[in-house]
Amino acid sequence: MLERYFKILRGEVLPNFQIAKRIQVDRIPSSLDEKLEIHAEKMEELRERREKVEDSEAKPNLLDLKLSILQDYSKSCNLCERRCGVNRGEGEIGFCRVREARVASEFLHFGEEPELVPSHTIFFAGCNFNCVFCQNWDISQHPENGAIIEPVELSRIIEFRFKGGSRNLNLVGGEPTPNAAYILEVLRELKANIPIVWNSNMYMSRELMQILDGVIDIYLTDFKYGNDECALRLSNVPKYMEVVSRNHLLAAKQCELIIRHLILPNHIVCCSKPVIDWIEKQLGTDVYLNLMDQYRPEYKAMKHKEISRFLRFDEYREVVEYALSKGFKIRL
């Protein structure tokens, strides 16, 4: 598991975003259609060079092109499948209400998966979900709760944390999706050969998934629900299974994958088991699956009787035993 990630840590290969910076782009045209054509061509080149370590950065490069495309997308925002269509470059806000990227906190996190720690975790304010049980609701539902940091300044903070022992850059929130263009601006300034972890609810648009290909090294996903009804009722998210299942398939083709599933009380039959079934059928049982028992009734959870309590051990055990019976390797 995570073979390429460990190769990056050993200095045997470069993280994807650093490879993208070594792919020469002759010019960045003004037309979005032309940009996308060039992007498709250059992505083929990136895939061929993934196992090579080269020293020189090109200018302009594939990462510059990806950023330019995201800046175009932000003029009629389509970064997630809500497709609000607002001009975020002019300060318009959509469902997530993110005007500009704000960093709520950043620190070395020791509570992530063992392979990731210590992880330099950057929490962005704002989210495209409205989860009634969100444990980070103070930043996810309040996009103004954070500091505006210039990309070059944040890149220096990342360099400092990397020298201090961080094994990866863990982009979370809230949700990183509304902040994708800013994140690429930061990576453009970043010199460290550090793996990039996209810690996400996986509600990105197909267009954003295409741009993240060749940037992200690990998708650390949050597969919350096994059906659309629970997703709409508890997170105000339409078309959940269609979007999130599609993005898991795309992510698995792009790079390495860690799937998290937070077990909710009284949601074993409707959510936990269907999520496990889908992963088994579509991705296989060798995928890194983390079944999480940390649920606690935060934010507005007390208004929903079935999730108004902590998870019981017997519920957690039932889900773990179900996953083990399917052939998954679950760490307890």
pLDDT tens string 255-313: 999 999 999 999 999 999 999 999 999 999 999 999 999 999 999 999 999 999 999 99
For residue 171, give the 3-state DSSP assignment.
strand
List all residues 6 or more positions away from 189 whose beta carbon is below 8 Å from its beta carbon: 151, 152, 155
CA 183, 184, 187, 188 torsion-angle sign: negative
| Burial class of residue 279 (count of CB atoms within 10 Å of its CB; 0-12, 13-18, 19+) | buried
Residue 305 to residues 135, 264, 267: CA-CA distances in angstroms? 17, 12, 12
pLDDT tens string 252-270: 999 999 999 999 999 999 9
Q: Output the pTM of the full model.
A: 0.97
Query: Residues 212, 254: contact at Cβ < 8 Å?
Result: yes
pLDDT tens string 41-71: 999 999 988 877 677 899 999 999 999 999 9
Query: Residues 195, 5: contact at Cβ < 8 Å?
Result: yes
Catalogue all structural domains in the chain, each as residue range(s) with its CATH number: 97-326 (3.20.20.70)
Query: Residues 79, 125: contact at Cβ < 8 Å?
Result: no
Residue-by-residue DSSP string for 66-134: HHHHHHHHGGG--SBTT-----GGGT---TT--SS--EEEEEEE-SS-TTT-SEEEEEES--S---TT-
Cα 326 to Cα 319: distance, rounded to the nearest angstrom: 11
Type of residue found at 63: L
Residues of the chain with pLDDT under 50: none
Cα 19 to Cα 172: distance, rounded to the nearest angstrom: 23
pLDDT at 332: 79
pLDDT at 189: 98
pLDDT at 104: 98
Which bin fits 165, alpha (ψ -120 to 50), beta or left (φ > 0)? Answer: left
Cα 21 to Cα 1: distance, rounded to the nearest angstrom: 26
Give the residue from 229, 328, 248, 253 showing the smallest Cα distance to 287.
328
Mean pLDDT over each residue of the chain, to the nearest integer: 97
Per-residue tokens: 110:
């020791």
Quick one: DSSP state of residue 24?
A: B
142 phi and psi angles, rounded to 5 deg: -135, 80
* Helix H or strand E segment including 150: none
pLDDT at 53: 66
